[in-house]
Amino acid sequence: MDAFDHLLHGFSVAAQPLNLAYVFLGCLLGTVIGVLPGIGPAAAIALLLPITYGIEPTSSLIMLCGIYYGAMYGGSTTSILINTPGESSSVMTALDGYAMARSGRAGAALAISAIASFVAGTISVVLLSLLAVPLAGFALKFGPAEYFTLMLFAMTSVAALTGPSLAKGLLSMFLGLMFATIGIDLQSGQQRFTFDLPELQDGIGFIVVVVGLFAIAEVFSGLEDLLKGRSEIIRMSGSLWLTREEWRRSVMPILRGTGIGFFKGVLPGAGATIATILSYSVERMLSREKAKFGTGMIEGVAGPEAANNASTGGAMVPLLTLGVPGSGSTAVLLAAFIMYGLQPGPLLFEKRPDLVWGLIASMYIGNLVLLVLNLPLVGVFVRLLYIPIGLLLPMVVSISAIGIFAVNGNIFELYLALGFGVIGYVFRKLAVPVAPLVLSLVLGGMMEQSFRQAMTISGADPGVFVRSPICISLLAASVLALSIPFVAPLLRRLVAQPAAA
């Protein structure tokens, strides 16, 4: 088999001691960057680019890619421990991961996210090795109309995550959509809801909202508990490792999450985030204990964590085969390729097989390195929870503040985060979920833009949304997702009645 020969050759490149060292370095840096909120993999790779200039291209790209997928491993840690996702792709992990930590299962949550990441990362590299070339054209089939229907599907899935009260979930989601409209409108160039503040022209950044709603709100309620003398230290219950039961429940979510993540990753644009939403809603839909989601279900950690890691392998498909980056991070990786005078695309596979396959092989090794690196860290990270609350809260605030300021160097955003902290605290008091707000903020802008792009292209003909098979099947799936909560109880009653009679 051709791909197999190439891969073997790739391993001979990746296994050179120097390249092994770069894989390790990249994975280590990625983990650290993933753990800290704020500086994401895209900025980290960009900042490191000038330093790697003298290094041999293959080694350098092996390291930079290690940072990219390594950050996906680290991203879950703060979600689980302090309820602060560092990337939009770890918002879903926070829902059940943090709940697990509150009930003393932080060790298990961290362990399953490392294992899910490893399995998903490895499988997605296998898929990348086998399918990269055949899948190349898939990413191009998605135009604005297809994206809009995909986002619609993702949003309907978010609406299904709203927990016990649909009204509260929708409130949170619509607020998120409203915040998403702030800033200069791309299609008309006009300002919307900016109150003439230049700081608002580019909209409200994800990291600002997430730090406010999750981290700062957490600090406020921690403060309240402390003042009321209710603050209790979380005791670890059971071992740090997974129980047999937890293992059993995680296997299928990991496999399903991997599939969803890889194929969503192939499509450019918010791949990892949408993949986590889809994976979470699939797990919730298939579960017999739907109501318990959000209270510490390990399926809700295993699935999304697998999905966001698998998407990194998927995202390499359009990058390597077409030279089309699917995300901020892969765009910087593309810049790195070009800096070395390498043009990703079909020709790259022919011209530099050593580099492409060496890089792919290094991703197998990198995933192993990350597992070995992250599992022992579980023991270290859970000890964070033993830090007295009076020390932990100021630490969370200062790390978050540095994270926000480091991105854009903008003090206004710190105040904005504080404002969202207040909103988050109020939401918590009223039992309104915050995840729909964050996710609709990330997806809402893209959803609106793709809607209007499609309408401009079609000359204001809405028929554009039912013209391709992809659009039609996504629309059908959205209708299905919305109707299940209504139809399912009805069906159950219909089935139950004859039985009772």
Partner 1 sequence: MHPDSRMSRKLPLVASTRRTMLRMAALASGTLLGFSLSTAPAQAQGWKPSRTVELVVFASPGGGNDKAARALQKIWADNKIVDAVVANRVGGGGTLAYTYVSQKAGDGHYIAIAQAGILTNQLAGRTNLTYNDMTVLPYIGTEPVSLSVRTESPIKTLKDFADRLRKDPASLTISPGSTLASTNHFVVALLARAVGSDPRKLRMVTFGGGAEAATNVLGGHIDAMVNASNNAVPHMQSGKMRILGISSPKRAASMPDVPTFREMGFDVIQDSWYVFLGPRGMTQGQIDFWDDVFARTMKTPEWKKFVAENGWEFGFMPSREAAAFMKREHEEARSIMSDLGALKAGQ
Site string for partner 1, 383-422 (x = CB under 8 A): ------------------------xxxx------------
d(CA 173, CA 433): 9
Cβ atoms of 279 and 303 within 8 Å: the answer is yes
Q: Which of residues 152-191 bind partner 1 (CB under 8 A)?
A: 184, 186-189, 191
Query: Of 34, 70, 261, 268, which lies in the binding site for partner 1, with binding defined by CB under 8 A?
Result: 268
User: Between residues 95 and 208, which has the closer beta carbon with respect to partner 1?
Assistant: 208
Minimum Å gap between C-beta 50 and partner 1 is: 5
Is 463 an interacting residue with respect to partner 1 (CB under 8 A)? no
Is 459 or 498 the residue whose CB approaches partner 1 more closely? 459
CB of 135 to partner 1, least distance (A): 14
Angle CA(60)–CA(63)–CA(67) in degrees, nearest 5?
A: 140
- Rounded-to-integer distance, Cα 356 and Cα 320, Å: 8
**Site size for partner 1 (CB under 8 A):** 52
Q: By the 8 A CB rule, do 45 and 70 touch?
A: no
**Least distance CB 401 / partner 1 (angstroms):** 17
| Amino acid present at 296 | G
Tell me the backbone φ, ψ of residue 166, rounded to 5 degrees: -65, -40
Number of H helices, E strands in the chain: 20, 2
Tell me which of 222, 345, 353, 419 binds partner 1, using CB under 8 A: 345
Q: For residue 237, state whether it binds partner 1 (rule: CB under 8 A).
A: no
Question: What are residue 183's phi and psi, to 5 degrees?
Answer: 120, -175
Q: Which is closer to partner 1, CB of 104 or CB of 328?
A: 328
How many Cβ atoms from other residues are within 10 Å of residue 476's Cβ? 12
By C-alpha distance, which of 488, 493, 461 is closest to 290?
Answer: 488
* Choice from 101, 152, 320, 332 touching partner 1 (CB under 8 A): 332
Residue 344 to residues 78, 290, 337, 363, 443: CA-CA distances in angstroms?
Answer: 34, 44, 7, 17, 28
Answer yes or no whether residue 351 interacts with partner 1 by CB under 8 A.
no
Give min distance, CB of 402 to partner 1, in A: 15
Applying CB under 8 A, the residues found at the interface with partner 1 are 42-43, 45-47, 49-50, 139-144, 184, 186-189, 191, 198-199, 201-202, 268-269, 318, 322-325, 328, 331-332, 334-335, 338-339, 341, 343-347, 407-410, 449, 453, 456-457, 459
